Structures are given as C-alpha cells and as structure tokens.
Chain A
Amino acid sequence: MKRPLPWLPLIGFLVLLAVVAAGLFRPADRVVHSQLVGKPLPDFTLQPLIPGRPGLSRATLTGQGPRLLNVFASWCIPCIAEAPQLLRLKAAGVPIDAIAIRDTAVDVRRFLERNGDPYQRIGDDRDSAVQLSLGSSGVPETFLIDGQGRVVRQYVGDIRPDDVDGLIADWKALK
C-alpha cells in the first residue's frame, strides 16, 4: 500500500471494535480462580479510616465466623451500583468488612451517607499495599472468608442483584 495513512482511522476503529466485541461476548464468569483460594489471608493490619469505626487486621478476620471482605473506594462508580446489593446482604445477616482504597475519611463518610453503610469495620489502605497482597487489582472486589480466616472465593467486579442469593447460600454453607 503506497499511502498507509488514510487507512489508519479504519485500523483504529477495527481495534476498538475487537476490544468491545471481546468485552461483549466474554463468558460471564466473574469468579477469579485465585492462588489465594483455600489459603489463609496474608498478615496485615489496617488503621481505622473513619473515627468510631474499627480498622481491620488478619486477627479480626479470624475466628469470627464466615464473612465478606469488600474492597471498595468512594471514587468508584461501580461501587455505587453495588451498594444496594451489599445492603441486602447485610439485611440477610451477612457480616461485611471493608478495605477502602486510596481514600479519605471525608469522602468515605459521604459515600456511606449517600449509598448506605453495610460495613462493620473499615480499614484504610491508602497506598493499595494490602489490596495488592490480597491479589486484588481493582475496585470493587469481594472476598468470602471462612471462620478460620481462609479465602473461600474471590469475586471481581460489582456484585449484581442476581449474585446476592448465591452469595448468601455460600455464606450459610460455611456456618
């Protein structure tokens, strides 16, 4: 081809199309087969982020019965979409702890006031260090943790309304 330049827009568009098509047709398996599944949580301690709400460490997640660990951030839009599902889980009796990623107390408090507050504890992970050690790379993500502090499952992305009943069943099975 003598003049490649005029074809560049088409090539760019085809790349875009491939990306979007791949996104559209990817199977909807959002459970990550993480190396961490079946293993105990790594050792970590996170300071409280908002006053009056305890922080989070491996010790507090061990021996307290099965629970969810939600990795979220106030600046994350899917986290807003996920909030009603977390409230439903809370109403069903599922205890939920949270790790707030790169966030501030003011923003998180505002986020919880707007979208509801399902959390028992909130740890402050301002440089994503603990998030990375958990093998989580984005927000939101949710870990199901058994009574011994072991990771049973890792959910990537927001919890959709269809996922809630399955999560409650998984949680009850661990009790």
Chain B
Amino acid sequence: MIAEAGLAALWIAAALAALQLALAALGLVRPAAPELSAAVRPVAIVQGVLAAAAMLLLIAVFQQSDMSVKLVAENSHSAKPWIYKIAGAWGNHEGSMLLWVTILGLAGGAVALFERQLDERTAIATLGAQAAIALGFYAFLLLASNPFARLYPAPTEGAGLNPLLQDPGLAFHPPTLYAGYVGLSVAFSFAVGALVTRDVEREFARAMRPWVLGAWIFLTIGITAGSYWAYYELGWGGWWFWDPVENASLMPWLAATALLHSVTVLATRDGLRAWTVMLAVVAFSMSMIGTFLVRSGILTSVHAFAVDPRRGAFILALLAIYIGGALTLFALRVGTVRQGRTFELVSREGGLVANNLLLSVILGIVLIGTLYPIVAAGFGVQLSVGPPFFNKAAGPIALLLVAIMGVGPLLRWRRDDLSALAERITWPLVATGVAFVVALLAAMPIGVLPLLGLSLAAGLAVASVAPLWGRNLRRTPLFTWGMVIAHLGIAVSLAGMACDAAFTAERLVALAPGQATRVGPWRVTLDGISPVVADNWSALQARLTVERDEGVRRLYPQSRTFSDPPTTTSESAIATVADGQLYTVLGQPDGQGRWQLRLWWKPFVTLIWAGGALIALGGALSLAGRLMRRRQEAVA
C-alpha cells in the first residue's frame, strides 16, 4: 500500500510539473491573462511537497523492510541497523534518483515560496524552466527507474547493502552533495528565465546569489565529507584519488565557485552579464554530466554502482535537451543582453575575472582528464588518466589561483593603483617568503609543489584576514567575514594538503603479537589479534598500543567480513592528535604467526578537512549576511 501511494505521488507530481511548465509558458505569451501566471507558484509548491512525500514513503518501506518491494529486497536486509535501513533508501540507483528529484522539487517550491525580489515575469520563466527540468527527471524515474516496483513472490530476506556503504557517512554524504548539485538547478533556471525575458541585470544577480551560495555550501560540505569518508573507509591512506566520481563532484564545485564570484561582480558593479549567465548554465550542466558519468557506468570507477547503458542513454537524452536548449537560447539571446559596465585591469573586477578564468581552466583540465578515456576508446585505445596528469596539470594553476586569491580582496573596485596595492600586500609577501625559507631549511628534501603550497598557504592566510585590518570588527558586514573565513579555509586546507604530501611517513611491517615498530614519532606495538562479531559482520581485530611523548593510546583496526553480500573491508583505526593523525590498517596474516600492518603518520592532515569546514562556514556567514541585508532593504 505504501509503495503504491509513493508511486501515485510521483505520477501526480510529474503531472503537476507538466502543468507548471504549460502555465508558465502560456502566462508569458499572454500577459493579458494574469491568472495563468498566478497559478504557477502554488503548483510549484504542491509539486515539491508531493516529491518529498514520495521520498518519505520510500524511506518508510525501507524502514519496514518490506521485501515485496524490489528495491528493498535488492538493497536492504532485515538485520541491518535502523540508520542504514533509512540511508539504504538512497544507497542505490533508483532511490538516489528519487532523492535527486525530491530536492529538485523542493528547490522549485522554495523559489516559488520565497523569491519575491525578482521581476515577476522572470520569476515565472524561472519556475517554468525548473518545471521542465523536473519533468524530464520524473520521466526518467517513472519510465526507467521506478523505485516502487513490486516483486512477486516476495523473498523472505533481502540481499543486503554494499558494506562500503554501511557507514554513518552514507547517511549524510549523498543528501548533502545532491542538495548542492540540484541547488545549482535553481541558478540554471534563473539564467534561462532571465534569457527568456531579456532581464540580465543587477536585480537578477542579487536574487540569484543566495541560491548559488546555498548550493555551493552544500557542495563544499559534501565534497569535504566525501573526501574524509574515502580516507578512512577505503583504507588507502589517501584523501583524493581523482576518481571519475570524485571529479564529478569537483566540476560543479569549480563552476559554482566561479559563478559565486562573477555574480558578485554583476550584483555590485553590473559587469560580466553574459559570462555570469553562461556560468550559471555551465554549473548545473556539470552537475548533470556528473550524474550521467556516475549513473551510466561509462567510466570505470572504484565507485562503480549499478551499470545500465539504457539508463545512460536516457540521462544523455535529458542532458542533450536541457544543456543544448539552454546553450541555444544563450546563443540566440546573448546579443540582446546589453554590455555591462567596464573596468580597469587592475581592480577588484580584474581580480575576479582572473579567478574566473583560472577556475575555468582547472575545470577544463578536470573535464578533459575525466572524459579523455572515452575519447581514446573511440580510437580503439583503452587507457586511464591518473593522478600524475591531474596533479601536474591542475596543481600549478591552482597555486597561481591561490596567489591571486590573496591579492584580489585587497583590490578596490573599478580601478586601483599598483603602488598602493604593493603596500597592502607587503605582509602577505613577507609571510610567503618566511614560510618558503623555513620550509626549505627545515623540511628538505621537499617537492616543488608542496614547498610552494606551504609558502602560499602562509601568505594567503595573512592576506585573507587583511581586509579586516583597521576595521571596526563589530560593524564589519557578515558577508565580509564570510569571505575572510572562506579564503582562510582555503589556506588551511592547502597547508594540510602540502603537509600530507611532504611529511607523511609510511611503514609496511609484519609483526607477531608482542612485537613493536616505529613510524614517525610513534612506537606501535601489536598486543594481539582477536575476533569480533556484530549484527551483520564479523571481524579480526588487532589490538595496538601506540605511544608518543605525551602518552599512550589504544587502536583497534579491523579486517571485517560481511555476510550479506559476502565481502571483506578494512576498517582503519585512526589516532587524531593536535598535529596530525596516525592511521593504521590491519592486513593479511603471513602464515608464520605474523600480521601485516600498514601505518601512516600524517602530520597536520586534518587541516585539509578543517579548511573545508571553514570554507563552508564562510559561505554560511556570507549567505546569512546577504539575507539579512535583503530583509533590511525590504523593510526600508
């Protein structure tokens, strides 16, 4: 019954999306009939509510372990802890696509409910575009990926959930990332709406900015959390693998970051009109391309989920319609978008343009590197593009971007004076130089990229707080604080990456119980190995005593065996201290009473994710600041 109700909610929501699109189109063509446009907002809200209801009903059938629902039988198990029963609802293809559509519907509903600043005709066109996107994905769900399909006869037990996904990370990672992906659909719809009504102006940028910021915050959190999840769950000791699925989340983030900065130029100085619209289209296009890459199985990935070329063809068709349509509209209409205001090269705008260009170049590198194996396959060559390419190609450009990031916020709008600028960046330059010399003297041998990374991180850290110097901190607007903290977060994260690359100590040893070894400043003793049993897995667990100057800790890395489906995973055990992490993984026995242990001492590696959290916090402060300013303006 519940499953049927969910399916019905989906069909009705799809019908409402079609209605919403038709009403918006008619309303724009016939301004004489305002009741058509007036109906668009309520329909959008109800559509969002129905999509959310379908998602909740899917969670309900997972919670009840209703094995007569095919999706539950294939992906769940009655013995699973309740949190994984809930998270299992989106830990599979159909459920994750339903989550995608739910967030799309809710985002459209939120625009209908809250967006009053935008010109009404543009708002209606925006909601029409949002409905068009939703309609395609409803069709995909209902025709090619029905999450509520029944199974007859019902099996008595389910097949279980991929053990790698049985982790608290799964409960939060996909929803966060999807909120970011799909939140960008709002920016896309805004751009399409503004192109339809030829209304690309400052008000448009101010209305779009909070939505872009919101989506960007979720993307940042999603990527940061996903990176940490891969770090401790895969047991490989790395935090970024340039895997296609990771790139699929990085590309929308790069585009959204560029958009965030160009929309500021449009909102503040009325410049970069066509470019901002283009970026809004590109950002969501990257989200859809990312979804396509992940869902079609066209690229071999360590994340590979269910693979089905027909589904891939369906999403590809949707991509062709939406992105192709938006780009055609762009080509037809961009000539009518009047040129915005111009500016000097040395100015805040100039810095933001440099930011946009460099982010676009990095985006291009990641896109080409990710898709190159497909192109090569077209010529009969099978290959894989790995970290050596991405690090060498994107690393130096990212460092250049960091250097400009330090200077940009210290530039004045419209035009600035080079000698005045030189004075403002004295201290950041000093910090960079000092860090360079210290790293060179204290940490030789050190690679070029980690050395430059450490120096620039120090310079950026000083430069990013420089906009606060000499200001009354209590009267500094929240969005300025947001920028400062987000840029500081980049410096912190970069320092973590450079430290991890430069200073990590690694040991691979075989120890018998009672034996000890050293890694970095730590002494690690294997006390023993014992079996552990839980609900749906059993494990061999090592008891490690790890000692450093300040004290003794115990760690328990496991080699876990899951029964449904039968799989083995490594559960790393990590000791987090102020200056880094000791990362331990239990390997195989060698048959002579010894056990393999993989040990890493990673100084300051935690800064990578702390920086990510700071970046997201900066975004949140900025968003809060913008919303408060809007409310004040509305009152005044």
A56 at the interface (CB under 8 A from B): no
Q: How far is the CA of A142 from the CA of B292 in the complex (A)?
A: 29
B367 (CB) vs chain A CBs: closest residue? A16
A19 at the interface (CB under 8 A from B): yes
A91 at the interface (CB under 8 A from B): no
Structural contact, A26 and B316, CB atoms closer than 8 A: no
- The interface residues of chain A lying within 8 Å CB-to-CB of B388 are 75
- The interface residues of chain B lying within 8 Å CB-to-CB of A16 are 371
- The interface residues of chain B lying within 8 Å CB-to-CB of A173 are none
A76 (CB) vs chain B CBs: closest residue? B384
- The interface residues of chain A lying within 8 Å CB-to-CB of B301 are 77, 81
Structural contact, A75 and B387, CB atoms closer than 8 A: yes
Q: Chain A 10-29, CB within 8 Å of chain B: the 1/0 string? A: 10011011011111111000
A105 to chain B, nearest CB (A): 12
A10 interface neighbour in B309, B313, B319, B324, Cβ under 8 Å = B324
A138 at the interface (CB under 8 A from B): yes
B320 interface neighbour in A3, A17, A109, A113, Cβ under 8 Å = A17
**Binding site secondary structure of chain B:** helix
Structural contact, B384 and A78, CB atoms closer than 8 A: yes
Structural contact, B335 and A6, CB atoms closer than 8 A: yes
A109 (CB) vs chain B CBs: closest residue? B508
Contacts A20-B374, A77-B300, A139-B384 given; does A113 touch B508 at CB 8 Å? yes
B236 at the interface (CB under 8 A from A): yes
Q: How far is the CA of A137 from the CA of B178 in the complex (A)?
A: 37
A141 interface neighbour in B278, B296, B330, B382, Cβ under 8 Å = B382
Interface positions of B from 276 to 335, Cβ below 8 Å from A: 278, 281-282, 285, 292, 296, 298, 300-302, 304, 309, 312-313, 316, 319-320, 323-324, 327-328, 330-332, 334-335
B387 (CB) vs chain A CBs: closest residue? A75
Structural contact, B382 and A138, CB atoms closer than 8 A: yes
Q: How many of A's residues come within 8 Å of B, CB to CB?
A: 38
B596 at the interface (CB under 8 A from A): yes
Structural contact, A24 and B313, CB atoms closer than 8 A: yes
Q: How far is the CA of A7 from the CA of B313 in the complex (A)?
A: 25
- The interface residues of chain A lying within 8 Å CB-to-CB of B377 are 23, 26
Q: How far is the CA of A25 from the CA of B314 in the complex (A)?
A: 12
Given contacts A13-B327, A16-B371, A75-B388, 12 further A-B contacts (CB under 8 A): A9-B327, A19-B371, A20-B298, A22-B378, A23-B374, A26-B378, A77-B300, A81-B300, A113-B587, A114-B236, A138-B381, A139-B384
- Cβ contacts A to B, 9 pairs, < 8 Å: A9-B282, A13-B285, A32-B380, A77-B301, A78-B300, A113-B587, A113-B598, A114-B235, A114-B236
Which B residues fall within an 8 A CB radius of A? 235-236, 241, 243, 278, 281-282, 285, 292, 296, 298, 300-302, 304, 309, 312-313, 316, 319-320, 323-324, 327-328, 330-332, 334-335, 371, 374-378, 380-384, 386-388, 508, 587, 596, 598
